[in-house]
């Protein structure tokens, strides 16, 4: 597979999603993302899904799918091609300027968690007891059928996870879970497995706080109107650059913020710490 064929046949949207990068603003043909190489408040990375290319207005640099992988993974062209060889060669998106917008996916079936592979995966993450918070989703994506663990966001989009994939079907958004919260507290997570982990530790339906799952640190801008209403904010964010930046933004903007990552400072995230801790069977 040569470079030009890779550039034309691998969807730039799917490549960005593989790095957990999603649009901040989007229309039928184009979208704006946060920059690939720096932290910013206003997104400056423009993507044209029809041309299958991107442009960073902050640096003046143009991107294709190969250079995106090189930028993020800090790798050579050959290593980027190897990464991209695992993708479905569906090509760039069509220009629907004169047509109705079409989805490249379809949800076929929604069930409670029953499939042995998904049960095994939830047990490996030590959260099977919380399987009633998620769904078993069967879906078709680019004319191929898949299944995975689904977690809904506020816009009706579905975060899909299994052992091999991590994508979002539909509109990317945060998930707010409200409870009978007399203490006016909220716990903030980057992903829903961290949320399931805390629920498993609590092992109680009489929870004392609300929960906010960002589903990506890029969605923090959607949480502003929510977080300002709470007297106490507990952060269960990842121990990586994006998690650190998100933590600092929240700490600077709001009062009474508790950084719970000190509990799992030697691990990538809250879920990994929980899975590695022999005190939790």
Where does the pLDDT of residue 43 fall: very low under 50, low under 70, confident under 90, or very high at 90 and above?
A: confident
For the cut 70, the answer to whether the pLDDT of residue 99 exceeds it is no
**pLDDT at position 96, please?**
45
Higher pLDDT pick, 218 / 196: 196
Q: What is the structure's pLDDT at 206?
A: 63
Query: What is residue 263's predicted lDDT score, i.e. its pLDDT?
Result: 92
Using an 8 Å Cβ cutoff, are 54 and 12 in contact?
Answer: yes
In this predicted structure, the answer to whether residue 211 has a pLDDT above a threshold of 80 is yes
Ordered by where they begin, the domains of the chain are 3-84 (3.90.580.10), 105-169 (no CATH), 175-276 (3.40.1360.10)
Per-residue pLDDT band at 90 (split at 50, 70, 90): low
Sheet with 135-141, strands from edge to edge, namely: 105-111, 135-141, 144-152, 158-161, 166-169
Query: What pLDDT shows up at residue 100?
Result: 42
| Residue 120 near residue 100, CB atoms below 8 Å | no
């Amino acid at each position: 597979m040569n470079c030009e064929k890779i550039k034309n046949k691998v969807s730039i949207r799917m490549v960005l999603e593989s790095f957990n990068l999603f649009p901040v603003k989007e229309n039928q043909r184009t979208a704006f993302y946060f920059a690939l190489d720096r932290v910013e408040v206003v997104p400056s990375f423009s993507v044209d899904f029809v041309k299958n290319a991107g442009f960073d207005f902050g640096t003046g640099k143009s991107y294709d799918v190969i250079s995106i992988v090189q930028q993020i993974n800090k790798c050579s062209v050959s290593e980027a091609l190897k990464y991209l060889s695992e993708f479905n060669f569906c090509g760039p998106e069509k220009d629907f300027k004169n047509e109705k917008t079409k989805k490249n996916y379809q949800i076929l079936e929604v069930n409670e968690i029953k499939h042995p592979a998904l049960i095994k995966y939830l047990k490996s993450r030590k959260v099977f007891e919380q399987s009633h918070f998620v769904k078993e989703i069967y879906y078709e994506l680019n004319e191929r059928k898949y299944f995975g663990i689904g977690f809904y966001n506020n816009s009706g989009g579905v975060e899909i996870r299994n052992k091999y994939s991590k994508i979002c079907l539909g509109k990317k958004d945060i998930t707010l879970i409200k409870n009978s919260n007399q203490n006016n507290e909220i716990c903030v997570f980057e992903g829903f497995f961290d949320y399931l982990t805390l629920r498993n530790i609590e092992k109680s339906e009489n929870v004392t706080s609300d929960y906010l799952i960002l589903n990506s640190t890029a969605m923090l801008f959607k949480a502003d109107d929510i977080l300002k209403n709470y007297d106490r904010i507990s952060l269960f964010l990842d121990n990586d650059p994006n998690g650190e930046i998100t933590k600092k933004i929240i700490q600077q903007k709001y009062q009474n913020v508790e950084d719970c990552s000190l509990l799992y400072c030697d691990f990538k995230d809250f879920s990994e710490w929980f899975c590695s801790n022999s005190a939790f069977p």
